[in-house]
Amino acid sequence: MKFEAEKKVVVEAPGTIANLVCGFDVLGLCLHTPHDTMELKLIEEKKVIIRSSDKYSLPTEPSQNTAGAPLLEILQEVDAAFGFELLIHKNIMPGSGLGSSAASAAGAVVAANHLLGNIFNKNDQVRFAMSGEKVATGVKHADNVAPCIFGGITLIRSIFPLDIISIPAPQLYVTVIHPQIEVKTSDARQILRKEVLLKDAIRQWGNIAGLVAGLMKNDYELIGRSLEDVIIEPIRSILIPGFDEVKKNCKNAGALGGGISGSGPSIFMLSKSRETAEAIEKEMQMIYQRIGLAHYTYVTTLNMDGVKILNQA
Amino acid sequence: MKFEAEKKVVVEAPGTIANLVCGFDVLGLCLHTPHDTMELKLIEEKKVIIRSSDKYSLPTEPSQNTAGAPLLEILQEVDAAFGFELLIHKNIMPGSGLGSSAASAAGAVVAANHLLGNIFNKNDQVRFAMSGEKVATGVKHADNVAPCIFGGITLIRSIFPLDIISIPAPQLYVTVIHPQIEVKTSDARQILRKEVLLKDAIRQWGNIAGLVAGLMKNDYELIGRSLEDVIIEPIRSILIPGFDEVKKNCKNAGALGGGISGSGPSIFMLSKSRETAEAIEKEMQMIYQRIGLAHYTYVTTLNMDGVKILNQA
């Protein structure tokens, strides 16, 4: 593929919630807020330049960068006679459990695909973005990049071969609190048991089946009843101070349900209305103020579109 | 409740498939064939009389009979000054894995509810029928009685409290083979491990989520990809001679997928068309003829109505 002219695009790459309660490792959800903004342009030289406007000191060596690695792969794939220059404005904090690395990877891929004339389908785009996740976490997983690219709620039925299913869903409000503690994904994974009780697994697959049916039937009550995780949450929530109280008080305040976002430390709750979502935000803030832990909160909605093309030149 | 007049009803109580592949213990499906026919009438004396026209020598003492136990409970519940007389024509062979006891229980309950003026909702009817299952298996389970009463495909998200969800589904043809061997439910349960690998459980809940989504989206390809059981089938299929070959050949002949019906020994396969379902029947018959095992086969469709009221007097 030849370099034709200097083209540029700006995209908004949203945060995502992986490990959606009973959907550990398979269900993810796309948010409107927080989101990164990224500016990608074609350059004449075949290379990838990463620039970053944030304070997080992420690696800018392309092969070590979550956005850089997939861009290098794309250049390879299209046998390019040009390169990419990417400027990242990061708002999704790394380590928040809100898909920060996925947003970088997915945003870069969607932007590149746009500049190349939309030559890749969404599954291909997820595949490229997964190499970004590999840089960030050591594993090619799609839990965050799939909802980031497809929007809405996605099911990763299988990774090899990749099988991504969009799950239709009704309007949902999402309240997120990000307490300022560090939970390493590797720690969060290490404390999980390799074996689980069959009876717990049965309860979990009853719940995920109920959740998918509830989402597709617009049945909020059923969604609420199905938002139960008897396998991962009881173990991982130990790493998040205040988790049980947040969950209990938010459900009392009208939340349908919720849980740990990704591998934490962020906690999210789903609601039917903005009023409830805002009441829940106050409950969360009160608890962490009392605990004395700094935190950020977001009240947002399910983002049906995923990475958004803002403008181009 | 008083006895008013001699009333009578005839119902057709269908066979059902529990443990629907990746939906072990939670997903069931209602068939058109085989089905029992049952005749229930009100009698003046407060008691339950069970008569049976079959060769299976099932207990006729009401409290020990799968249909009798729920009828006794109903008489108790409505404080009846009358009784029931039930005649059962059983076509669903006990021990086939096709919900024979559930058909007796569900048929009796739906017939009684009809004679009493439809005073119980479907959830109540399932609850009564579950006491019939308790007589038959020692456990109050709803895997067969729920699809038998609701029709279609049902998800039992939870037993306590009872939470039954109807899963919409497209037209499906079902081919069933019942090889004439005995698999005791207790044996089939005993060989299961109490613990399973987390990675297998994750694959299973990815599949059940995919199956529910595929059914609700009328996506036959997705239904087919999701019909995979990595936990129960690899263990239980050992008890069924020819299972692996049946499954392989049927999928080659166009089946979407399938597995063990209930705890066996029947095997079922789902197809998109009657032609495929009939071709699959021939594959199944050929295999069991070669093995030298007597068998019955059925080619039928998903029954959306459940127990059917035939006529009344």
How far A45 CA lies from chain B's nearest CA (Å)? 43
* pLDDT at residue A136 greater than cutoff 90: no
Residues B296 and B308 reside in one and the same domain: no
pLDDT at B238 (0 to 100): 92
Q: Name the residue among A98, A32, A107, A96 with its Cα closest to residue A66.
A: A107
How far B183 CA lies from chain A's nearest CA (Å)? 21
User: How many structural domains comprise chain B?
Assistant: 2
**Structure token pair of residue A42:** 């074609």
For A170-222, how does the pLDDT look when each residue is reduced to its tens digit (9 = 90+)?
Answer: 999 999 999 999 887 778 888 999 999 999 999 999 999 999 999 999 999 99
Helices H / strands E in chain B, number of each: 10, 12
A-B C-beta contacts closer than 8 Å = 128
Site of tokens 């809100």: A98
**Whole-number mean pLDDT of chain A?**
95
Give chain A positions within 8 Å (CB) of B208.
Answer: 205, 208-209
Q: Is residue A1 part of a domain?
A: no
Q: Is residue B107 part of a domain?
A: yes
pLDDT band (50, 70, 90) for residue B151: very high
* pLDDT at residue A4 greater than cutoff 80: no
* pLDDT at residue B313 greater than cutoff 70: no
Q: Do A201 and B206 touch (CB under 8 A)?
A: no
pLDDT at A163 (0 to 100): 98
pLDDT at B312 (0 to 100): 65
Q: Which residue does chain B place closest to A226, by CA atoms?
A: B157
Give chain B positions within 8 Å (CB) of A206.
Answer: 25-26, 155-158
Q: What is the mean pLDDT of residues A29-57?
A: 93
For B223-251, how does the pLDDT look when each residue is reduced to its tens digit (9 = 90+)?
Answer: 999 999 999 999 999 999 999 999 999 99
Percentage of chain A exceeding pLDDT 70 = 99
Give chain B positions within 8 Å (CB) of A157.
Answer: 206-207, 209-210, 222, 225-226
Residues B112 and B194 reside in one and the same domain: no
Interface of B with A (CB under 8 A): 22-27, 155-158, 163, 165, 167, 192-199, 201-214, 216-217, 222, 225-226, 231
pLDDT at B137 (0 to 100): 80
For A104-133, how does the pLDDT look when each residue is reduced to its tens digit (9 = 90+)?
Answer: 999 999 999 999 999 999 999 999 999 999
Residues A132 and A228 reside in one and the same domain: no
Residues B120 and B50 reside in one and the same domain: yes
Which three-class secondary structure state does DSSP give residue B284?
Answer: helix
Q: What is the ipTM of this complex?
A: 0.95
Q: Which residue does chain B place closest to A201, by CA atoms?
A: B201
Q: Which residue does chain A place closest to B205, by CA atoms?
A: A205
Q: Of the ranges A74-88, A166-180, B2-16, which one carries the lowest mean pLDDT score?
A: B2-16
pLDDT at B183 (0 to 100): 80
Q: Do B194 and A194 touch (CB under 8 A)?
A: no
CB-CB contact of A230 with A205 (8 Å) = no
pLDDT at A312 (0 to 100): 65
When scoring A205, A208, A211, A233 by the number of chain B Cβ atoms within 10 A, the one with the most, hence best to mutate, is A205
Q: Of the ranges A190-194, B161-165, B209-213, which one carries the lowest mean pLDDT score?
A: A190-194
pLDDT at A185 (0 to 100): 74
- CA A262/CA A269 separation, integer angstroms: 13
How far B94 CA lies from chain A's nearest CA (Å)? 26
Q: Of the ranges A160-164, B184-188, B299-303, which one carries the lowest mean pLDDT score?
A: B184-188
Say whether A133 is catalytic.
yes
* pLDDT at residue B2 greater than cutoff 90: no
Prediction pTM value: 0.96
Q: How far is CA B86 from CA A21, A172, A294, B49, B138, in A?
A: 47, 50, 69, 6, 23
- Among the partner residues A194, A199, A213, nearest to B155 by beta-carbon distance: A213
Residues B251 and B132 reside in one and the same domain: no
Q: How many CB atoms lie within 10 A of CB A191?
A: 11
Beta bridge partners of A28: A154
Residues A95 and A121 reside in one and the same domain: yes
Tell me, what CATH number does B57's domain have? 3.30.230.10
Percentage of chain B exceeding pLDDT 70 = 99
Q: Is residue A14 part of a domain?
A: yes
Residues B256 and B137 reside in one and the same domain: no
Quick one: DSSP state of residue A81? S
pLDDT at B113 (0 to 100): 97
pLDDT band (50, 70, 90) for residue B140: confident
Q: Which domain holds residue B234?
A: 173-301
Q: Give me the helix-helix angle, A100-115 and A68-77, nearest 10°.
A: 30
When scoring A157, A159, A162, A166 by the number of chain B Cβ atoms within 10 A, the one with the most, hence best to mutate, is A157
Residues B75 and B89 reside in one and the same domain: yes
Q: Is residue B246 part of a domain?
A: yes
Side chain identity, residue A165? I
Q: Do B206 and A231 touch (CB under 8 A)?
A: no
How far B117 CA lies from chain A's nearest CA (Å)? 30
Q: Do B209 and A24 touch (CB under 8 A)?
A: no
Residues B20 and B133 reside in one and the same domain: yes
Q: Do A198 and B195 touch (CB under 8 A)?
A: yes
For A237-266, how does the pLDDT look when each residue is reduced to its tens digit (9 = 90+)?
Answer: 999 999 999 999 999 999 999 999 999 999
B43 φ/ψ angles, rounded to the nearest 5 degrees: -125, 160
- Among the partner residues B26, B201, B203, nearest to A209 by beta-carbon distance: B26
Residues A178 and A120 reside in one and the same domain: no
pLDDT at B53 (0 to 100): 81
How far B214 CA lies from chain A's nearest CA (Å)? 9
* pLDDT at residue A76 greater than cutoff 80: yes
Site of tokens 């993810």: A28
* pLDDT at residue B144 greater than cutoff 90: yes
Q: How many CB atoms lie within 10 A of CB B4?
A: 9
pLDDT at B265 (0 to 100): 96
Q: Is residue A58 part of a domain?
A: yes
- Taken in order B120, B122, B126, B132, the sign of the CA dihedral is positive
Residues B147 and B281 reside in one and the same domain: no
Tell me, what CATH number does A208's domain have? 3.30.70.890
Q: Is residue A2 part of a domain?
A: no
Provide CB contacts within 8 A for A8, sequence distance 6+.
Answer: A39, A40, A41, A42, A115, A312, A313
Active site residues of B: 133, 185
Residues A210 and A147 reside in one and the same domain: no
Q: Is residue A235 part of a domain?
A: yes
pLDDT at B229 (0 to 100): 97
Q: What is the mean pLDDT of residues B256-273?
A: 97
Percentage of chain A exceeding pLDDT 90 = 88
Q: Is residue B212 part of a domain?
A: yes
